[in-house]
Amino acid sequence: MKKLALAWTRHKVPYIFLLPTVIGLLLLQAAPILQGLYLGFLRSRKDKLLDYLSAPWAGLENYREILFNPASPIRSGLWDAVRNTVLYTIAVTLGTLVVGMAMALLVNREFRFRSAARTLMLFPWIVPTYVVGLLWGFLWQREVGLVNIILVDWLHLFTVKPTWLIGPNTLWAIILPTVWRQWPFSMLMLLAGLQSIPKDVYEAAEIDGAGHWQSFRRITWPLLKPVWAILLLHGLIFNVYSFNIVIMMFGNGAGYPGKHGDLLMTDLFRNSFQMWDFGTGAAMSSLLMLAMMTLVFLWYRAFRDQLTGK
């Protein structure tokens, strides 16, 4: 207590200025989180919707239904969504990092109309995610979609037009638009990192006989590790909670992508707002939040040295 009192005495003015922000965070973040955690222990379904936080107490029933009841459709749907979300998150995160790095290296070079090229490359990032979902939903149509027209009618890569929005190809139909939407952000961050690297380092490496690949592996890659770490964390969190593109691609906001394309957020949305099972939805949200906190902890342990500079 003495240390807290001493800290308050020494830094009273900054604490006073921070107080409105802290109060705002408590109201906008902490209160809904606590309500969601509490709701996961209630039997809050359609018939009890008006009761909200005064709905009957269910204890661990919602969690048991999700994790251990083999006859529960919620449980089987959840594990499909978990599998798809893991594959989707890995593919999209790596895809955006690879494409973003390639484009950052490209626009970091000197060439004519470089500024215009950089501006145009930001276009996918500017388009709202729900528009991306609608647009690519049309592009993936089997008979009239532009993707199949290019692959089958123009390039003749397939003898039969593949189905993208139903079946095993569904996950790829979700991954590719998301990579297209997100890679400009990775490019922008990596480009800023590249421009912070002194050119003298590359000139010295060139004098020593280092080629492009050696310069990238020995200079660019190590010096960009803090940027890679931030982009990796952003990608993991953003992609696990991905929702808009998927929900708009299948039925303009009311569709079901099927077991091959269902993600955790679409599964959670369907259980909470279409099946009106808010208790189960809140329990699923709590489990997801716990999993993400664990993931962030592991990420920090892995990249602590790069972030702290120690």
Kindly list the structural domains of the chain, giving each domain's residue range(s) and its CATH number in brackets, ordered by start. Answer: 16-59 (no CATH), 72-308 (1.10.3720.10)
Choose between 11 and 135: higher pLDDT.
Answer: 135
What integer pLDDT is reported at residue 49 of this predicted model?
A: 66
What integer pLDDT is reported at residue 277 of this predicted model?
A: 84
Name which of 17-21, 190-194, 256-260 the model is least confident about: 256-260
pLDDT, mean of residues 83-112: 93
Best-predicted range by mean pLDDT (6-20, 131-145, 254-268): 131-145
Instruction: Quote the distance between the C-alpha of residue 186 and its chain's center.
Output: 13
What integer pLDDT is reported at residue 143 of this predicted model?
A: 87
Which string of b and e fits 267-285 if b means at least 16 CB within 10 Å?
A: bbbbbbeeeebbbbbbbbb
| pLDDT at residue 92 is higher than 60 | yes
What integer pLDDT is reported at residue 3 of this predicted model?
A: 74
Tokens of residue 208, six digits: 């020593």
The answer to whether the beta carbons of residues 39 and 56 sit under 8 Å apart is no
pLDDT bracket for residue 259 (50, 70, 90): confident
Q: What is the dihedral of CA 270, 272, 273, 278, to 10 degrees?
A: 160
Residues contacting residue 77 through CB under 8 Å, at least 6 positions apart: 259, 262, 267
| pLDDT at residue 95 is higher than 90 | yes
| pLDDT at residue 244 is higher than 80 | yes
How far apart CA 45 and CA 51 sit, in angstroms, is 9
What integer pLDDT is reported at residue 94 of this predicted model?
A: 95
How many helices (H) does the chain have, and how many strands (E)?
A: 17, 0
Q: Which percentage of the chain shows pLDDT scores above 70? A: 95
Q: Which percentage of the chain shows pLDDT scores above 90? A: 35
